[in-house]
């Protein structure tokens, strides 16, 4: 089939087209070959990547220099996930389903939809805290450039730590109220530690994303890791 003949079949915006017998005979082998190629590619992608469970998240570890880094970052995420979702309310579990090459990505099974939602909220809160840390650093650099005395600079740093601690408390309590029943100060403390740890990991380059097959309503629970500067806390503000 020549190029001009092939263009005749595709020079239409219709979903269906009727061909006469000679045209159909010419097109059939090309369609069969195209179908074979697409099926082969689809099968290869499925075999390489596998199918993600809907209760899976993808975690990117910070840059790893040695086994000590790998051990530390893995241990931190183990603490963050376990102390947040492994309980009777969330009914989550933590299982590594796969590890990608290159930048280290882990596909981690969390066990329940409630766990996936909670980790989305935890990631969001941690990103908000990370943003606050970044803002604090900028303030410190600005104050230092003004030649402020060390005593005053230390006082500013102390106040920033206090403000950061209050923010972590507020985010943890909000996260608890949205995901748990009753009153458990111990679980709130676990969430506070998880938020603190994860904000530090974000600072080092860590990321977390829901599975690709999750609906938009779930994906929107997770922060856009490439655009954290515009992120706002989900804690409802008191209207004046």
Q: What is the pLDDT of residues 8-62, one digit of tens each?
A: 555 666 666 677 777 777 777 777 777 777 777 766 655 555 556 789 999 999 9
Burial class (CB in 10 A: 0-12, 13-18, 19+), 212: exposed
Question: In the sheet that 95-100 helps form, which strands lie side by side, from edge to edge?
Answer: 95-100, 105-109, 56-60, 207-210
Q: How does residue 197 score in pLDDT terms, banded at 50, 70 and 90?
A: very high
User: Stretch 170-185: mean pLDDT, rounded?
Assistant: 94
Asked if residue 138 has pLDDT above 80, the reply is yes
Burial class (CB in 10 A: 0-12, 13-18, 19+), 127: buried
Q: How does residue 6 score in pLDDT terms, banded at 50, 70 and 90?
A: very low
Residue pLDDT, tens place only, 52-105: 678 999 999 998 888 899 999 999 999 999 999 999 999 999 998 888 767 789
Q: In this structure, is the dihedral angle defined by the CA atoms of residues 82, 84, 89 and 95, taken in order, positive or negative?
A: negative
Angle between helices 113-145 and 185-203 in degrees, nearest 10: 60
Averaged pLDDT score across all residues of the chain: 85
User: Stretch 106-118: mean pLDDT, rounded?
Assistant: 94
- H or E element, residue 100: strand 95-100
- H or E element, residue 207: strand 207-210
Query: Using CA atoms, how far apart are residues 55 and 160, in angstroms rounded to an integer?
Result: 37
Of 6-10, 31-35, 202-206, 224-228, the poorest mean pLDDT is in 6-10
Whole-model pTM: value is: 0.74
Q: How does residue 124 score in pLDDT terms, banded at 50, 70 and 90?
A: very high
Query: Using CA atoms, how far apart are residues 142 and 51, in angstroms rounded to an integer?
Result: 49
Domains of the chain: which residue ranges? Answer: 56-229
The tokens of 151 are what? Answer: 């005593």
- In percent, the amount of the chain with pLDDT more than 90 equals 52
Predicted local confidence at residue 44, as pLDDT? 60
């Amino acid at each position: 089939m020549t190029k001009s003949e092939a263009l005749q079949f595709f020079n239409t915006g219709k979903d269906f087209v009727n061909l006469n017998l000679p045209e159909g005979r010419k097109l059939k082998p090309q369609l069969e070959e195209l179908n074979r190629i697409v099926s082969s590619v689809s099968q290869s992608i499925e075999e390489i990547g596998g199918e993600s469970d809907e209760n899976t998240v993808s975690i990117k570890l910070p840059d790893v220099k040695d086994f000590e880094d790998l051990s530390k970052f893995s241990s931190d995420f183990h603490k963050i996930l376990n102390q947040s979702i492994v309980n009777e309310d969330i009914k989550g579990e933590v299982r590594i389903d796969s590890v990608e090459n290159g930048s280290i990505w882990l596909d981690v099974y969390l066990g329940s939809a409630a766990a996936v939602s909670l980790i989305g909220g935890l990631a969001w809160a941690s990103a908000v805290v990370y943003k606050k840390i970044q803002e604090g650093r900028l303030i410190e650099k600005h104050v230092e450039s003004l030649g402020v005395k060390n005593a005053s600079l230390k006082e500013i740093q102390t106040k920033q730590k206090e403000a950061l601690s209050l923010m972590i408390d507020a985010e943890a309590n909000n996260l608890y109220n949205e995901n748990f029943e009753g009153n458990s100060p111990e679980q709130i403390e676990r969430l506070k530690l998880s938020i603190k740890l994860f904000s530090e990991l974000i600072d080092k380059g860590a990321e977390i994303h829901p599975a690709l097959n999750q609906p938009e309503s779930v994906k929107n629970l997770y922060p856009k890791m490439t655009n954290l500067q515009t992120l706002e806390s989900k804690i409802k503000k008191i209207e004046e």
